[in-house]
């Protein structure tokens, strides 16, 4: 039965609350249970690193900032959108008048590299404490409205670099029970967007907010909003 739960989680949920209707804005909450029956998991968040190009561009921009700080001790220069063909320029205010900017240089290319770095995704998975099955709870490259509706245009940085494992700060236990809360604008709205990507089969995957609460499997300590993310 359709309960508004995204497809990737469907086989692992125990419903906590079900909305009366899925057609309008709704919220749904469920706890996660492994197919082996266990509900305690090791939570792993994988992180990505900024690209080399983006790091370099940022360095160069910082160097420029330093240079302008030296040349204009009163800090009257600024980097801003020129309003002309999306170019980013460095201006200096003349005579303290913000409307009297003098053009210094064009930094559009640098700016674009530093800002339009591929998006850094959020990837959170749960590893069953008994059978070691890995369940992907959230991968923002695929889950949530933006990933769904803009799947052809979003460019993600896929260089996994570090793994961070959740551990209770109170008792040191590294297993948690998981509650996932999903908000959605509802089936009617999502289907009405009519771009052909969202349909009867997959609309649940285009949710717009996800919150993950944890409860330590050792001492019961609750961590509200371990992850709280808008996906639209």
Q: Which is nearer to Zn ion, 20 or 169 (CB)?
A: 169
Q: Which is nearer to Zn ion, 110 or 124 (CB)?
A: 124
Q: What are phi and psi of 147, to 5 degrees?
A: -60, -35
Dist CA 3 CA 183 (whole Å): 12
Smallest separation (angstroms) from Zn ion to the CB of 45: 18
Q: Which is nearer to Zn ion, 118 or 218 (CB)?
A: 218
Smallest separation (angstroms) from Zn ion to the CB of 131: 3
Q: Which is nearer to Zn ion, 41 or 207 (CB)?
A: 41
CB 29 within 8 A of CB 46: no
Long-range contacts of 62-68 (CB under 8 A, 24+ apart): 64/90, 64/107, 64/110, 68/92, 68/104
Smallest separation (angstroms) from Zn ion to the CB of 174: 9
Smallest separation (angstroms) from Zn ion to the CB of 132: 7
Query: Is the CA virtual torsion 7, 184, 15, 126 positive or negative?
Result: positive
Tokens 């009297």 belong to residue? 100
The SS3 call for residue 85 is coil
Smallest separation (angstroms) from Zn ion to the CB of 5: 19
Smallest separation (angstroms) from Zn ion to the CB of 36: 3
Distance (Å) of CA 15 to CA 22, 42, 149? 14, 21, 26
Question: E strand or H helix at 65, and its extent?
Answer: helix 52-71
Identify which of 122, 107, 119 has the alpha carbon closest to the alpha carbon of residue 58.
107
Give the footprint of Zn ion on this chain (CB under 5 A).
Answer: 34, 36, 38, 128, 130-131, 133, 168, 170-171, 173, 216, 218-219, 221
Length of the chain (residues):
232
Q: Which is nearer to Zn ion, 90 or 135 (CB)?
A: 135
Q: Which is nearer to Zn ion, 19 or 218 (CB)?
A: 218
């Amino acid at each position: 039965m359709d309960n508004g739960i995204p497809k990737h989680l469907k086989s692992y949920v125990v419903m906590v609350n079900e909305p009366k209707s899925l057609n309008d804005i709704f919220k749904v909450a469920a706890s996660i249970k492994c197919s082996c029956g266990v509900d305690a998991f090791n939570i792993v968040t994988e992180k990505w690193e900024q690209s080399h190009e983006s790091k370099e561009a940022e360095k160069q921009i910082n160097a420029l900032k330093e240079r302008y700080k030296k040349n204009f001790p009163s800090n009257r220069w600024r980097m801003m959108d020129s309003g002309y063909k999306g170019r980013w320029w460095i201006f200096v205010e003349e005579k303290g008048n913000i409307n009297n900017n003098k053009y210094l240089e064009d930094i559009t290319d640098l700016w674009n590299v530093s800002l339009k770095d591929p998006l850094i995704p959020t990837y959170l998975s749960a590893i069953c404490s008994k059978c070691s099955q890995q369940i992907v709870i959230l991968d923002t490259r695929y889950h949530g409205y933006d990933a769904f509706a803009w799947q052809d245009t979003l460019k993600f940085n896929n260089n996994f670099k570090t793994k961070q494992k959740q551990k209770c700060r109170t008792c040191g236990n590294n297993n948690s029970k998981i509650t996932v809360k999903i908000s959605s604008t509802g089936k009617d709205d999502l289907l009405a967007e009519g771009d052909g990507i969202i349909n009867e089969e997959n609309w649940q995957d285009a949710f717009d907010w996800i919150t993950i609460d944890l409860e330590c499997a050792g001492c019961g300590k609750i961590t509200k909003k371990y992850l709280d993310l808008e996906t639209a």
